[in-house]
Chain A
Amino acid sequence: MRDKILYGMGVVAILLLARDIYMIANFPPEAAQGAIFKIIFFHVPAAWTAMVAAGSALVCSILFLVKKDFKYDAIAVASTEVGLAFLAVNLVTGSIWGHVIWGIWWTWDVRLTSALVCWLLYAGYLMLRHAIEEPTQRATFAAVFSIFAFLDVPIVYFSIRLFRTQHPGPVFLSSNGSFPPDWGMVLLWNWVALLMLGIVITLVRLGHEETQREIDYVRRMAHAL
């Protein structure tokens, strides 16, 4: 049943993405930036998906520390890994946009730097998990680290509101925004599609964690015999 839901969601996400790509291709180039502006339709939804993944990891890490249930640890690691992939998409597409518009691949402004630090923190979370053998200790340390890593997420989000950055100011959820409503709807649908894709990948990854736990259990049984 779970597999059928996963496949169904995956197919819907891919169909939505195909429709969105067709619509984005048919939009006219933006007056000042030209066609490269269209990268925003993947750059921003990838960042939002990564942010949802980070939020999910935070909630599950707190729940693990409170309830000591490994189910929450598994969800936290699965969503962190998927969020890291989406944040990588966000960083790389942003860098390509910057190369065309600013003439540089990278600049150390608050938004870009805090996003890179966020990526490094969550990559550190995954490395920390590899470094600890004992499951309870690994899950506890990882949960604490995940809560600490999440502190960077609001900094990333608010950096363009609180600081003067080279990164463009907010165009969504802001009074200064000038994003056309029909373009905004496509961007929103693209986010829904990427989020669905993210959920499908997270659930598949969650299955791996469950299998890994099963392997650990069988190994312990084998040692006991």
Chain B
Amino acid sequence: MHLLSRLPLLFAQVSPEDIQREFVRLQRNFQFLSYGFAVAWIILTVYVLMMVGRERRLKREISSLKAMLEERQKK
């Protein structure tokens, strides 16, 4: 039987409070699911951003060291 044709039966068995409670439960479920996905991506994004920062620092460090070395060799 199609779900829509069952609706009158369902409404006869459950009270508006039950529907409201179920609605709140579903909403809470989706809310925490979105928190879970968001946190997962935030952790990975923060880690990748930290790596980008580290790469920049390393490049800066190596270029300044190489410049210093060249200067010392010239002397």
Contacts between chains A and B (CB distance < 8 A), count: 84
Asked if A11 CB lies within 8 Å of chain B CBs, one says: no
- Contacting residues, chain B, for A34 (C-beta < 8 A): 25-26, 29
- Contacting residues, chain B, for A99 (C-beta < 8 A): 32
One of A145-153, A181-189, A210-218 at the interface: A210-218
| Also in contact, A215 and B62, with CB within 8 A (given A35-B26, A100-B32, A205-B51) | yes
| Also in contact, A36 and B72, with CB within 8 A (given A205-B51, A211-B58) | no
Asked if A89 CB lies within 8 Å of chain B CBs, one says: yes
Asked if B55 CB lies within 8 Å of chain A CBs, one says: yes
| Also in contact, A208 and B36, with CB within 8 A (given A88-B43, A225-B72) | no
Q: Do A85 and B37 have beta carbons less than 8 Å apart?
A: no
Task: Give the residue name and chain of the A residue nearest to B39 (CB).
Answer: A92
Q: Is the interface of A mostly helix, strand, loop or mixed?
A: helix
| Also in contact, A85 and B32, with CB within 8 A (given A34-B25, A222-B65, A222-B72) | no
Q: CB within 8 Å of A: which of B40-54?
A: 40, 43-44, 47-48, 51, 54
- How many angstroms between the C-alpha atoms of A179 and B75 in the bound complex? 71
Q: Tell me the count of chain B residues lying within 8 A, CB to CB, of chain A.
A: 29
Asked if B19 CB lies within 8 Å of chain A CBs, one says: no
User: Closest CB of chain B to A11's CB: distance in Å?
Assistant: 15
Asked if B14 CB lies within 8 Å of chain A CBs, one says: no
User: When the two chains form the complex, which single residue of A35, A93, A212, A221 contacts B40, counting CB atoms closer than 8 Å?
Assistant: A93
User: Closest CB of chain A to B51's CB: distance in Å?
Assistant: 6
Q: Which 8 pairs between the two chains have the least Cβ-Cβ distance?
A: A34-B29, A96-B36, A35-B29, A85-B47, A218-B65, A39-B36, A211-B58, A89-B40
